[in-house]
């Protein structure tokens, strides 16, 4: 049996939920400082239901929430994805609340990014499936974990062959489908009003800073530098970011780069700005 200590030790951040409910009631529960992250806080969720705080887990996690199994299976098939294969995979982490036709698949997010959640509903506005990770402003969403008790009285259970302590990475076809669903939303959110004009001098200055930052770095730095460049809102920003990423050819991958660019949004809480790039450039020896 997986214990609270096991979860916290393996980087799973938790949300305290009153016993018998499926959602937290305390204000600000979805802020990073409100979630439980350390084994020393284990007592704070004693005799309570628990939820996984996807965006604040290490690494970031997500859930594919199947609200209507029959309709979801048809919908995924229309996108060349076999839902049954996902559920029956040797490493599948599946949660069942006891509700008929309702399941959740848990995964680690690729590239360590937190993605805005996205719902798909039928033409009759009935929920079919939801991709769950974060809100549009970057705060976490949560999903209830076993052995919590559902409001109906049933107990949440793991029914897949995998373990939550060894979550598989979200399959690429699901990741790409999620990105496609978000595309209109992400496109609208990227209308950045740049505080720095796109002039030859400013472009040259940015490139001079980038020359002091190695693209052969940890993922968080890599992501932050790309997002810093995109935060300018310049028409050439993506091209500059790609040129910098390609200076580490052994790490560069077209699909991963495009996914990273598509995941950028200036509307999240505490967005990355050009100041982050300048900070890393100074560490690398750049001087104004």
Average pLDDT over residues 14-43: 93
162: alpha, beta or left, given left = phi > 0 and alpha = psi -120 to 50?
beta
Which residues partner with 155 through β-bridges? 149
Structure tokens at 228: 């810093």
Q: Round the average pLDDT of the chain to a whole number and report it.
A: 90
Question: Is the pLDDT assigned to residue 105 strictly greater than 80?
Answer: yes
Distance of alpha carbon 186 from the chain centroid: 14
Q: Encode pLDDT of 55-71 as tens digits.
A: 999 999 999 999 999 99
Q: Encode pLDDT of 162-214 as tens digits.
A: 999 999 999 999 988 988 888 765 555 555 555 678 899 999 999 999 999 99
Residue 65, Cβ neighbours under 10 Å: how many?
21
Strand order in the sheet with 14-17: 14-17, 49-53, 142-145
Question: Is the pLDDT assigned to residue 252 strictly greater than 90?
Answer: no
**What is each CA distance from 231 to 119, 156, 263, 275, in whole angstroms?**
27, 42, 12, 10
At residue 223, the pLDDT reads 87
Distance CA 145, CA 8 (A): 13
Q: Which helix (H) or strand (E) holds 204?
A: helix 200-210
**What is each CA distance from 202 to 63, 195, 199, 206, 264, in whole angstroms?**
42, 11, 5, 6, 22
Residue 267, Cβ neighbours under 10 Å: how many?
16
Q: Looking at the whole model, is its pTM more than 0.75?
A: no
Angle between helices 254-262 and 219-230 (to 10 degrees): 60
SS3 content of the chain, % helix, strand, coil (to 5): 40, 15, 45
Point out the least confidently predicted range of 140-149, 169-178, 257-266: 257-266
* End-to-end Cα, the chain, rounded Å: 57
- Per CATH, which fold does 4-185 belong to? Prim-pol fold (3.30.2250)
Question: Quick one: 195 exposed, middle or buried, by C-beta within 10 A (0-12, 13-18, 19+)?
Answer: exposed
Structure tokens at 145: 């974990």
Q: Which helix (H) or strand (E) holds 278?
A: helix 274-283
Domain locations along the chain: 4-185, 200-283
Q: For 76, phi and psi rounded to 5 degrees?
A: -65, -40
The secondary structure of residue 50, as a DSSP letter, is E
């Amino acid at each position: 049996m997986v214990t609270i200590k096991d979860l916290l030790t393996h980087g799973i951040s938790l949300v305290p939920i009153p016993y018998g409910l499926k959602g937290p009631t305390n204000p600000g529960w979805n802020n990073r400082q409100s979630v439980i992250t350390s084994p020393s806080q284990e007592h704070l969720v004693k005799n309570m239901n628990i939820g996984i705080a996807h965006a604040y887990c290490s690494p970031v996690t997500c859930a594919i929430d199947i609200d209507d199994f029959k309709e979801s299976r048809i919908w995924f098939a229309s996108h060349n994805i076999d839902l049954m294969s996902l559920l029956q995979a040797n490493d599948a982490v599946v949660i069942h609340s006891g509700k008929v036709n309702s399941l959740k698949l848990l995964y680690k997010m690729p590239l360590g990014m937190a993605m805005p959640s996205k719902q798909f509903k039928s033409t009759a506005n009935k929920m079919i499936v939801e991709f769950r990770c974060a809100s549009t402003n970057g705060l976490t969403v949560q999903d209830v974990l076993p052995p919590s008790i559902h409001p109906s009285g049933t107990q949440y259970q793991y029914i897949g062959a995998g373990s939550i302590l060894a979550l598989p990475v979200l399959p690429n076809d699901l990741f790409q489908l999620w990105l496609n669903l978000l595309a209109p939303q992400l496109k609208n959110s990227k209308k950045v009003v740049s505080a720095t004009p796109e002039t030859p001098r400013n472009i040259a200055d940015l490139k001079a800073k980038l020359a002091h930052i190695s693209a052969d770095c940890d993922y968080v730095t890599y992501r932050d530098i790309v997002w810093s460049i995109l935060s300018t809102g310049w028409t050439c920003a993506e091209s500059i970011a790609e040129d910098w990423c390609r200076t580490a050819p052994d790490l560069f991958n077209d699909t991963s780069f495009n996914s990273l660019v598509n995941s950028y949004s200036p509307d999240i809480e505490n967005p990355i700005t050009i100041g982050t790039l300048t900070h890393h450039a100074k560490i690398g020896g750049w001087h104004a």
